[in-house]
Amino acid sequence: MTALFLLACATAESPVAASTPTPEPASVTAPAAPPSGWVVALGESVDSTVVVPVDTLVNAADAWNGKDVVIDGVVKEVCQKKGCWHTISTASPDVTVMAKDKEYKVFLPKDAAGQRVHVKGTFAAVETPEEEARHYAEDAGRDPSTIVGPQKGYAVDVAGVKFVEG
């Protein structure tokens, strides 16, 4: 299952839920600090004292659906056209969380793959239409013809991103 986001690169923002379940502690393995010269925080301020490991979210997606969270994870891939979206790795190589700012204000460096991040936003279980999923595959430099049918997965509407040390 590949996680993809329901909305194209520039769409309107959805309402944000207010309550968040208490996260369970877990660790994430990632590289050390972001490369020299990078802006360490993008978008809104991110409170790194209340992070939820990405696998906690996907393993209890129904409980977290529509909730505001700060996700702790590692960037798997970034849109190679603009940096307007990125995916966050999970323990399963076939499952990621698509992270995208619907207001089109938060862009990651195109070479941010492998960096540990805290992503503030609203988590959701999603289904992405085939045409849109093919668009994301093409933006990532992958063969869009490998996408067949709607894609079920997970996403976060990004409000802010902070690069953190592993």
When comparing pLDDT for 166 and 77, which is higher? 77
Q: Which CATH number fits domain 42-163: 3.40.50.300, 2.40.50.140, 3.20.20.60, 2.115.10.20?
A: 2.40.50.140
Residues 105, 17: Cα–Cα separation, whole Å: 20
Residues 6, 9: Cα–Cα separation, whole Å: 10
User: Once rounded to an integer, what is the mean pLDDT over residues 29-40?
Assistant: 57
Q: What is the pLDDT of residues 135-155, one digit of tens each?
A: 888 888 889 999 899 888 999
Cβ–Cβ < 8 Å for 164, 117: yes
pLDDT for the residue numbered 6: 36
Task: Single out the residue of 151, 73, 147 nearest to residue 112, CA to CA.
Answer: 73
